[in-house]
Amino acid sequence: MADDPNSPPPERAKAHLGFVVNGEPVEVAFAPHKTLLEVLREDLGLTGTKHGCELGECGTCAVLVDGRPVLSCLYLGLECEGRSVETVEGMANAAGLHPLQKAFADLGAAQCGYCTPGFLLTARALLDSNPRPTLPEIREALAGNLCRCTGYVKIFEAVELAAAWMRGEETQPRTETLYGTSFDESGLLPVVRS
Partner 1 sequence: MKRPRTRVVGRPYPKVDAAAKVTGQTKFADDLFLPRMLHCKLLRSKVAHAKLLRVDVSKALAMPGVIAAATGRDLPIAFGILPVSQDEHALAPDRVRYVGDPIAAVAAVDEDAAFAALDAIDVEYEPLPAIGSIDDAVASPEPRIHDYGDAGNFHKLVAMEFGDTEKGFEEADRVYDDLFFYEGSTHLPLEQHAAVGDFGPDGKLTVWSSTQTPHYVHRALAKVLQMPAARIRVIATPNGGGFGGKSDPFNHEIVVAHLSRVTGRPVKICLTREEVFYCHRGRHPTLMRVRTGVKRDGAITAMHFQTVLDGGGYGSYGVASTYYTGALQTVTYRVPAYRFEGARVFTNKPPCGPKRGHGTPQPRYALEAQIDKIACDLGLDPAEMRKAHLVPPNSLTANFLRVGSMGLAACIDKVVEASGWRERRGKLPFGRGLGLACSSYICGAGLPIYWNSMPQSGVQLKLDRGGGVTVFCGSIDIGQGSDSVLAYVVAEVLGIDPFDIRVVTADTDLTPVDLGSYSSRVTLMTGNAALQAAERARELLVEAVAAKLGIPKTRVALAEGRAFDVEEPGDSGMPFADAVALAEAKFGTIGTVGSYTPPPSAGRYRGAGVGPSPAYSYSAAIVEVDVDPETGIYTVPKVWIAHDVGKCINPVLVVGQVEGSVYMGLGEAMMEEMAYRSGVNGNVVHKMPSLLEYKSPTTKEMSEVVTFLVEDPDPNGPFGAKEVGQGPLLPIPPAVANALYDAVGVRVDEIPATPEKVHAALKLARTGKTPRVGPARFPDIPYPPSMRVLTPEEGGDGKAVHQPPTGAGGVRRDVIETVPP
8 Å CB contact between 118 and 61: yes
Contact pick of 7, 24, 27, 94 for partner 1 (by CB under 8 A): 7
Q: Classify 35 as helix, strand or coil.
A: strand
Minimal CA–CA distance to 120: which of 172, 48, 54, 52? 48
Is residue 35 involved in binding partner 1 (CB under 8 A)?
A: no
Q: CA 71, 149, 89 angle in degrees (round to 5)?
A: 45
Is residue 178 involved in binding partner 1 (CB under 8 A)?
A: yes
Q: Return the range that interacts with partner 1 (CB under 8 A); candidates 18-26, 74-82, 124-132, 170-178.
A: 170-178
Is residue 49 involved in binding partner 1 (CB under 8 A)?
A: yes
**Measured between alpha carbons, how far is 111 from 116 in angstroms, rounded to an integer?**
9
8 Å CB contact between 121 and 69: yes
Least Cβ distance, residue 81 to partner 1 (angstroms): 22
What single letter denotes the amino acid at residue 111? Q
Least Cβ distance, residue 24 to partner 1 (angstroms): 16
Q: Return the range that interacts with partner 1 (CB under 8 A); candidates 8-16, 64-72, 74-82, 126-134.
A: 8-16
Beta bridge partners of 20: 25, 84
Q: Provide φ and ψ at 16, rounded to 5°.
A: -130, 115
Is residue 29 involved in binding partner 1 (CB under 8 A)?
A: no
> Which of residues 165 and 179 has its CB atom nearest to partner 1 in the complex?
179
Binding mask 86-125 for partner 1 (x = CB under 8 A): -xxx-xx----x---xx-xxxxx-xxxxxxxx--x-----
8 Å CB contact between 60 and 118: yes
CA distances from 105 to 31, 45, 110, 157, 161 (A): 37, 24, 6, 12, 12
Is residue 163 involved in binding partner 1 (CB under 8 A)?
A: no
Is residue 81 involved in binding partner 1 (CB under 8 A)?
A: no
Contact pick of 23, 55, 134, 174 for partner 1 (by CB under 8 A): 55
Q: Return the range that interacts with partner 1 (CB under 8 A); candidates 14-22, 74-82, 125-133, 185-193.
A: 185-193
Contact pick of 24, 27, 170, 188 for partner 1 (by CB under 8 A): 188
Is residue 84 involved in binding partner 1 (CB under 8 A)?
A: no
